[in-house]
């Protein structure tokens, strides 16, 4: 497979009865800030997201200027009003055959099945784009993210012990590593 980032952008929005995934625009910057700024849960699990979170941070994110050139990023929106609920992305390896999913969701949308729907849509899209493997890492203590992975059909492969130093938490983290192969999406 010849890797071209243009091949890993959506031609149209991905959607189901719960959510729609669409590319970010600069007009979404205020909504991104409203979702992230001061959110303790996002800050706890995703220390690479600055806190406080500014409009400049949001514009850089919407423009794809945060150092992840091989990431397919989508706004998670509700199918009814189109309101921004969160973000989901797939970071692709250099060959373009492995995608790693990451996401965040605003506080009032959590626990409603939104993340599960978004992960299912993105994993299906990545597999259709030729991914031989879709993976997801979650802090072993992040039970909500781990449940999402399992509901979609990801299989726990093991724990990457002491895999990451979190400057915000001032401790090393263990990550649960999940994978999904073609034919395993539920």
pLDDT in tens, 8-32: 666 678 999 999 999 999 999 999 9
**Nearest in space to 23 (alpha carbons), one of 58, 68, 73:** 73
The yes or no reply on domain 5-136 and CATH 3.40.630.30 is yes
- Span 50-65, pLDDT tens digits: 999 999 999 999 988 7
| Angle subtended at Cα 130 by Cα 126 and Cα 133, rounded to the nearest 5 degrees | 65
Task: Give the C-alpha separation, 147 to 134, whole Å.
Answer: 16
For residues 119-142, one letter each, b for 16 or more C-beta atoms within 10 angstroms of the residue's C-beta and e for the rest, the string is bbbbbbbbbebbbeebbbbbbeeb
Q: How far is CA 181 from CA 32, 80, 152, 162, in A?
A: 31, 31, 12, 26
Say yes or no to pLDDT of 75 above 60: yes
Say yes or no to pLDDT of 70 above 90: no
Task: Give the C-alpha separation, 126 to 54, whole Å.
Answer: 30
> Would you give the DSSP letter of residue 24?
-
Q: The pTM is what?
A: 0.92
What ranges do the domains of the chain cover? Answer: 5-136
Mean pLDDT score, 153-182: 95
What's the whole-number average pLDDT of the chain?
92
């Amino acid at each position: 497979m010849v890797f071209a980032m243009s091949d890993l952008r959506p031609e149209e929005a991905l959607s189901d009865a719960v959510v729609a995934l669409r590319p970010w625009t600069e007009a979404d910057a205020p909504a991104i800030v409203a979702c992230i700024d001061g959110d303790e849960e996002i800050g706890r699990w995703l220390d690479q997201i600055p806190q406080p979170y500014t409009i400049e941070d949001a514009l850089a994110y919407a423009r794809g200027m945060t150092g992840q050139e091989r990431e397919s990023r989508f706004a998670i929106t509700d199918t009814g009003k189109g309101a921004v609920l969160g973000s989901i992305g797939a970071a692709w390896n250099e060959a373009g055959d492995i995608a790693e999913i990451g996401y965040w969701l605003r506080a009032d949308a959590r626990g409603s099945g939104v993340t599960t729907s978004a992960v299912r849509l993105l994993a299906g899209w990545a597999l259709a784009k030729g991914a031989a493997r879709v993976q997801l890492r979650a802090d072993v203590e992040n039970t909500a993210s781990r449940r999402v992975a399992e509901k979609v059909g990801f299989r726990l492969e093991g724990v990457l012990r002491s895999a990451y130093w979190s400057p915000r938490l001032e401790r090393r983290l263990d990550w649960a590593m999940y994978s999904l192969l073609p034919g395993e999406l539920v």
